[in-house]
Amino acid sequence: MRRILGDVLYVVDPSRPDASYACYNAKLARDLGLNESWFRDAIAACPDLVIAPCKQAGITDEDWYCWGREVSVEVGSIDVLLISESGRVAIVETKLAYNPERRRAVLAQLMEYAVHLRGMEPAELGPIPEGMVDIDQVRDHLEVGDFLLIVAGDALDPRAIRLSKALLAEHLVNPWDLAMIDLSLYQTQNDEKDPKYLLVPALRQAYEAEKRHVVTISVTGEPLRTVIRVESRPPEPPDGPRQTWQRQDFEEHLAAGTHLAPAFKELAGEVLKLLDSPHPSHSSVEASWGTGIAPALILKRNGNGLIELFPRGGSIRFRKDKFEAALGKDLGQSYLRSLERLFSSQMQMGYPYVRQEQLSETGRALARILREHIEAAERSGPSG
Residue 324 is predicted with a pLDDT of 95
Average pLDDT, the chain: 81
The secondary structure of residue 302, as a DSSP letter, is: T
Q: What does each C-alpha distance from 318 to 111, 215, 307, 334 come to in angstroms?
A: 34, 41, 5, 14
Work out the average pLDDT over 201-229: 59
pLDDT tens digits, residue range 180-203? 888 888 888 876 667 788 888 888
Contact 177, 208 (CB under 8 A): yes
pLDDT of res. 330: 96
Q: How far is CA 349 from the centre of its chain?
A: 19
- Tens-digit pLDDT profile for residues 92-139: 998 876 455 555 677 788 888 988 898 889 989 998 877 677 787 888
The whole-number pLDDT of residue 163 equals 56
Give the CA angle between residues 237, 239, 245 to the nearest 5°.
35
Beta strands in the chain (DSSP E): 8-11, 21-27, 64-73, 76-84, 89-94, 147-153, 177-188, 197-207, 212-220, 225-233, 285-288, 297-301, 304-310, 315-317, 353-355
What is the mean pLDDT of the segment spanning 216-245?
51
Q: Please give the pLDDT value at position 353.
A: 81
- pLDDT band at residue 213, thresholds of 50, 70 and 90? very low
Return d(Cα 7, Cα 207) in angstroms, integer: 28
Question: 135-153 as b/e, with b when 16 or more CB fall inside 10 Å?
Answer: eebbbbbbebbbbbbbbbb
Torsion of CA 324, 329, 334, 335, to 10 degrees: -20
Please give the residue that has the higher pLDDT: either 85 or 311. Answer: 311
Collapsed DSSP state (helix, strand, coil) of residue 106: helix
* Residue 292 backbone phi and psi in degrees, to 5: -85, -160
- The reported pLDDT for the residue numbered 235 is 42
Specify the pLDDT at position 380. 81
Indicate the SS3 state at residue 161: helix
From residue 140, give the alpha-carbon distance in Å to each of 147, 248, 251: 11, 22, 21
Q: Which comes out higher in pLDDT, residue 65 or 31? A: 65
Confidence at 212, pLDDT banded by 50, 70, 90: very low
Residues 6+ apart with CB under 8 A from 221: none
Whole-angstrom Cα distance, residue 187 to residue 352?
40
Rounded Cα distance between 146 and 130, Å, is 22
Q: Please give the residue that has the higher pLDDT: either 196 or 206.
A: 196
Percent of the chain whose pLDDT exceeds 70: 78
Residue 211: per-residue pLDDT: 44
Mean pLDDT of 33-45: 88
Report the range out of 28-37, 176-185, 361-370 with the highest average pLDDT. 361-370
pTM of the model: 0.64
Cis previous bond, 53, omega within 30: no
List pLDDT tens digits, range 65-98. Answer: 999 999 998 889 999 999 988 889 999 998 876 4
Closest CA to 160 of 99, 212, 115: 99
pLDDT score of 46: 94
pLDDT at 10: 85
> Of 11, 31, 29, 7, which Cα lies nearest the Cα of 21?
11
pLDDT for the residue numbered 146? 86
Residue 239: burial class (beta carbons within 10 Å; 0-12, 13-18, 19+): exposed
- What is the rounded CA–CA span in Å between residue 147 and residue 82? 10
161 vs 335 pLDDT, higher one: 335
Segments making up each domain of the chain, as ranges? 8-212, 247-379
pLDDT top residue among 230 and 108:
108
Q: What value does the mean pLDDT take over residues 296-300? A: 92
Q: What is the pLDDT of residue 149?
A: 92
Is pLDDT at 309 greater than 80 in this prediction?
Answer: yes
CA distance 170 to 179: 16
Mention every residue, 6+ apart, whose C-beta is less than 8 A from residue 118.
Answer: 142, 143, 144, 145, 174
- Mean pLDDT of the 45-68 span: 90
